[in-house]
Amino acid sequence: MLGNKNFFFRYQNLSELSVRHPNGVGFTKACFAYFYGMFYMVKTPWWLKKMYPSLVWDIPSEEKVLYLTFDDGPHKIFTPLVLSHLQQFNAKATFFCIGKNVGETPSVYSAILQQGHAVGNHTQNHLNGWKTKDDIYIQNIAEASAHIQSGLFRPPYGRITKFQAALLQQRQAGPFVIIMWDVLSGDFDTDLSPERCLQNVMMYAKPGSIIVFHDSAKAFDRMNYALPRVLEHFSNRGFTFKTLSGIPLK
Ligand SMILES: [Zn+2]
C-alpha cells in the first residue's frame, strides 16, 4: 500500500495540511483513519472539503433547501418504496444509479425520471476508484453512461483520486459534475440503529446540505425508518427537497 502512487499523493497532501492545522497530531490520525477506511464521518469536515475543492460537497444557500441522494439502486423493491415516501412530501431527490442495476430494472429507472427526480452515474459495477486503474475506472463509467443519461457522477465509497476526478471533469463526451456529500445518514452501517441513523441527519443537515441514503437491501431497515421522519421534520420547518440537476461544474 505504501508503494501505491495514489496513497503517496494523498499522504503528501495530508502532511501539508496537518502542519498548518492547530491540532496537527489528532488531525493526521483522523486522516489516516479515514483514508484506511476504519471509520466514516457523518458530517463531512471542512478540511476534507478543502482538500478536494473541485468536488461538490454542498450547495451553500440561505434558502431552506435540502438535497437528498440515494445510491446503489435502482432496486425493484426498495426504490419504489423510496419514491412513495418522497411523493408523500412532494420531495424531489437524486438517484446515483449503478449501470448494471439500471440494465436489470429499466422500469424502476424510468419511474424515477417520470416522477421528476434526477439521476447520476455511480459506475457500471460500483468500483472503488482508489483500487482501480484509471483507464478501467473511466471505461466502467462510460459503460454506465449507456444506461444513465446524466452529467452527475458520484464515486462509489466516495473514493476517487484527483487525477480520475480531473479526467471526468474534462472528458470530451461532456464533463461530469462530481457530487460528494455533506451528511452521511449511515444507513449502510448494519451496526447502527435506525434511531441513530435518523439523528445523524437531524443533527447535521443544514440549508444546502447534500445528504446520502441508499435504496439498497443492506440499508433498507435504517433508511426506511429515517427517511419519512426526515421528510416530515424538515417539511414542517419550511424546508423543500430538490434535485441536483443543473448544478454547475466547479
Ligand atoms: Zn455506492
> Tens digits of per-residue pLDDT, 221-245?
999 999 999 999 999 999 999 999 9
Cβ-proximal residues to 207 (8 Å cutoff; 6+ apart), any chain:
61, 62, 63, 64, 65, 66, 239
Q: Which CATH number fits domain 41-241: 3.20.20.370, 3.40.1160.10, 3.30.450.20, 3.30.1490.100?
A: 3.20.20.370
102: pLDDT strictly greater than 90? yes
Q: State the pTM of this model.
A: 0.86
Sequence ranges of the domains in the chain: 41-241
- Cα 214 to ligand 1 centroid, rounded to whole Å: 8
Instruction: Render 70-107 in DSSP notation, one character per residue.
Output: EES---TTHHHHHHHHHHHTT--EEEEE-HHHHHH-HH
Q: Which residues are catalytic?
A: 71, 214
Kindly give the distance from the C-alpha atom of residue 224 to the centroid of ligand 1, in angstroms, as a whole number.
17
d(CA 224, CA 238): 22
* Per-residue model confidence as pLDDT tens digits over 2-50: 333 333 333 333 333 333 333 333 444 444 545 555 578 999 999 999 9
Does the pLDDT value for residue 247 go beyond 90? Answer: no
How far is ligand 1, taken at its centre, from the CA of residue 98, in Å? 8
Distance from the CA of 13 to the center of ligand 1, in angstroms?
A: 25
pLDDT score at 173: 77
Short-list 32, 115, 85, CA closest to 225: 85
Using DSSP, state whether 177 is helix, strand or coil: strand
Query: Quick one: what percent of the chain has pLDDT higher than 90?
Result: 79
Which residues face 96 on adjacent strands?
71, 120
Report the C-alpha gap between 66 and 231 in whole angstroms.
10
pLDDT tens digit sequence for 41-86 = 999 999 999 989 999 999 998 899 999 999 999 999 999 999 999 9
